[in-house]
């Protein structure tokens, strides 16, 4: 295997054009038919689990992988650890790999814990002397006590993971692959595992970390890879990637504001999708431009322009702004009445215009949709209401996990 730039240390892990295609047989008998008559007819259909995956991990780098269930994460890890054969592409690893895949992976339930330590250590390339040297540290970390000499099939799920994690992290790997292992066990065990992971990072061990715990990925990873439908959707800053992934999981990819505003006119000539009454209709509802885009940060002002055209004389108007998160959670529902702001009466065919601003927004990272409505002064009559059709997003450059970024004052005291 040759690298493009031999003067630079090669990556510890390099994945190039990796693909995995499974043969799906609809009926059990089709497998036999394929063997006997496959030269004349195909009795299966292809399912592509991974397609053209490429990335690399440098020595000492911690990389996280996110993706919804079925995105191809487990298939990728199985190929990287050599338990599954790829269909196309190549994987090059320059060092020893230790992995914690699904619960109990690599553990023989009929053997005792101690016997499994010897077995897995041998698989990872340790000789008898090295295994004996590391055995006390492995047993101490696993904290299995007298159960270390009992068959593993009698272990709880937490004991399984403690044994596997202890073996994988005590054999001096160059690359550690962790797949959701920290989701099993109590807080004390999780903290212990995180301390061990940080120790390995300090020793320049590379780590490939797969988890649905986005906060952990944000804190410990140098980069993140987002897999979607077997493809790499994005690679980059772990905070940005995990926030984008979280927003995607709440409601899928949001159309851009530009897309919603440039949609074709309806047959009636109206460009703002809405509920229209005999009282009036909205002719404008959109974001005021924020540097030409629709992405904001906590603390930014988010401004919307709107215009209501009256179909009859209207004595007074109350405007109401609604903001929903993409998962349907209603976050904001406020009117100008609470702010003691009013609009003068308008006559038929006149237009009431305005701007509503979310001052120093406290919204947390995510994708949002807004709508506006117009009511009579007593809120009993609905004059017009737009659909949820103005999209915007909130992003931060730092890890955060709440729905709101609320102004808080921290005061240390001696």
pLDDT in tens, 44-102: 888 999 999 999 999 999 999 999 988 999 899 989 988 899 999 999 999 888 887 76
pLDDT of residue 105: 61
Mean pLDDT (whole number) for 135-164: 88
**Is 257-394 in CATH node 2.60.120.260?**
no
pLDDT of residue 104: 55
Which carries the bigger pLDDT value, residue 393 or residue 103? 393
Is the model's pLDDT at 191 over the cut of 50? Answer: yes
pLDDT of residue 103: 54
Mean pLDDT (whole number) for 315-323: 93
Cα separation, 82 vs 135, whole angstroms? 25
Q: What percent of the chain has pLDDT over 90?
A: 46
Collect all residues with Cβ–Cβ distance below 8 Å to 125 and sequence separation of at least 6.
96
Mean pLDDT (whole number) for 330-355: 93
Is the model's pLDDT at 298 over the cut of 80? Answer: yes
Is the model's pLDDT at 403 over the cut of 90? Answer: no
The rounded mean pLDDT for the chain is 85
Collect all residues with Cβ–Cβ distance below 8 Å to 314 and sequence separation of at least 6.
279, 280, 345, 346, 352, 383
Q: Please check whether residue 219 is in contact with residue 253, taking contact to mean a CB–CB distance below 8 angstroms.
A: no
pTM of the entire structure? Answer: 0.75
pLDDT of residue 292: 62
pLDDT of residue 281: 92
Cα separation, 68 vs 48, whole angstroms? 16
Is the model's pLDDT at 197 over the cut of 90? Answer: no
**Phi and psi at residue 177, to the nearest 5°:** -110, 120
pLDDT of residue 123: 81
- At 187, the pLDDT band (50, 70, 90 cuts) reads low
Nearest partner of 318 among 272, 370, 379, judged by Cα: 379
pLDDT of residue 255: 42
pLDDT of residue 28: 85
pLDDT of residue 260: 38
Is the model's pLDDT at 247 over the cut of 90? Answer: no
Is the model's pLDDT at 5 over the cut of 60? Answer: no
pLDDT of residue 371: 94
Mean pLDDT (whole number) for 254-265: 37
- Beta strand pairing call for 206-210 and 62-66: parallel
Cα separation, 365 vs 396, whole angstroms? 6
Q: What percent of the chain has pLDDT over 70?
A: 89
**Where does CATH 3.40.50.300 sit in the chain?**
13-251
pLDDT of residue 398: 85
Is the model's pLDDT at 6 over the cut of 60? Answer: no
CA dihedral of 137, 143, 145, 148, whole degrees rounded to 10: -70
- At 328, the pLDDT band (50, 70, 90 cuts) reads confident
Is the model's pLDDT at 132 over the cut of 70? Answer: yes
The helix/strand/coil state of 296 is: strand
Cα separation, 397 vs 239, whole angstroms? 6
Neighbours of 405 (CB within 10 A): 19
Mean pLDDT (whole number) for 125-131: 87
Mean pLDDT (whole number) for 377-398: 89
Which carries the bigger pLDDT value, residue 160 or residue 351? 351
Cα separation, 88 vs 70, whole angstroms? 20
pLDDT of residue 363: 95
- At 217, the pLDDT band (50, 70, 90 cuts) reads confident
Facing residues of 229 across strands?
Answer: none
Is the model's pLDDT at 265 over the cut of 50? Answer: no
Is the model's pLDDT at 395 over the cut of 80? Answer: yes
pLDDT of residue 172: 82
**Where does CATH 2.70.50.60 sit in the chain?**
257-394
- At 318, the pLDDT band (50, 70, 90 cuts) reads very high
Whole-angstrom CA distances from 94 to 12, 13, 174, 206 are 5, 6, 8, 11
Collect all residues with Cβ–Cβ distance below 8 Å to 382 and sequence separation of at least 6.
275, 277, 279, 373, 374, 375
Most confident of 252-256, 288-292, 313-317: 313-317
Q: Residue with structure tokens 């790499």?
A: 232
Is the model's pLDDT at 290 over the cut of 70? Answer: no
CATH class of the domain defined by 13-251: alpha beta
Nearest partner of 318 among 338, 304, 301, judged by Cα: 338
Whole-angstrom CA distances from 64 to 143, 211, 338, 371 are 28, 8, 45, 36
Nearest partner of 69 among 230, 218, 244, 182, judged by Cα: 230
């Amino acid at each position: 295997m040759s690298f493009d730039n031999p003067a630079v240390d090669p990556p510890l892990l390099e994945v190039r054009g990796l693909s995995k295609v499974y043969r799906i047989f609809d009926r059990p008998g089709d497998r036999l038919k394929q063997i006997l008559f496959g030269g004349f007819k195909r009795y299966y259909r292809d399912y592509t689990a991974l397609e053209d995956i490429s990335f690399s991990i440098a020595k000492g780098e911690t990389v996280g992988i996110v993706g919804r269930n079925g995105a191809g994460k487990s298939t990728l890890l199985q190929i990287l650890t050599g338990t599954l054969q790829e269909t196309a592409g190549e994987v090059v690893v320059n060092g020893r790999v230790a992995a914690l895949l699904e619960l109990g992976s690599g553990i023989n339930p009929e053997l005792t814990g101690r016997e499994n330590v010897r077995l897995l250590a041998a698989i990872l390339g340790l000789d008898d002397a090295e295994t004996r040297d590391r055995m006390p540290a492995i047993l101490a970390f696993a904290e299995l006590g007298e159960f270390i000499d009992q068959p593993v099939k009698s272990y709880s799920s937490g004991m399984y993971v403690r044994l596997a994690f202890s073996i994988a992290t005590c054999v001096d790997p160059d690359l550690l692959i962790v797949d959701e292992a920290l989701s099993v066990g109590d807080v004390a065990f999780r903290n212990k595992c995180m301390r061990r992971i940080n120790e390995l990072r300090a020793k320049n061990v590379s780590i490939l970390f797969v988890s649905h715990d986005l906060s952990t990925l944000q804190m410990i990873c140098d980069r993140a890879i987002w897999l979607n439908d077997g493809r790499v959707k994005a690679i980059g800053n772990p905070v940005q990637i995990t926030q984008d992934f979280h927003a995607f999981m709440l409601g899928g990819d949001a159309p851009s504001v530009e897309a919603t505003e440039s949609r074709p006119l309806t047959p009636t000539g109206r460009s703002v999708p809405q509920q229209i009454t005999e009282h009036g209709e909205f002719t404008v509802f959109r974001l005021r431009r924020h540097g030409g885009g629709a992405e904001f940060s906590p603390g930014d002002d988010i401004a919307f322009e709107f215009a209501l055209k009256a179909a009859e004389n209207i004595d007074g108007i109350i405007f109401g702004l609604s903001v929903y998160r993409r998962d349907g959670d209603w976050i904001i529902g406020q009117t100008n009445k609470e702010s003691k702001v009013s609009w003068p009466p308008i006559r038929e065919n006149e237009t009431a215009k305005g701007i509503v601003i979310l001052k120093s927004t406290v919204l947390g990272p995510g994708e949002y949709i807004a709508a506006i409505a117009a009511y009579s002064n007593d809120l009993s009559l609905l004059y017009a209401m737009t659909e949820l059709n103005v999209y915007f997003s909130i992003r931060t450059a730092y890890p955060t996990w709440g729905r709101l970024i609320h102004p808080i004052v921290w005061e240390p005291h001696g």
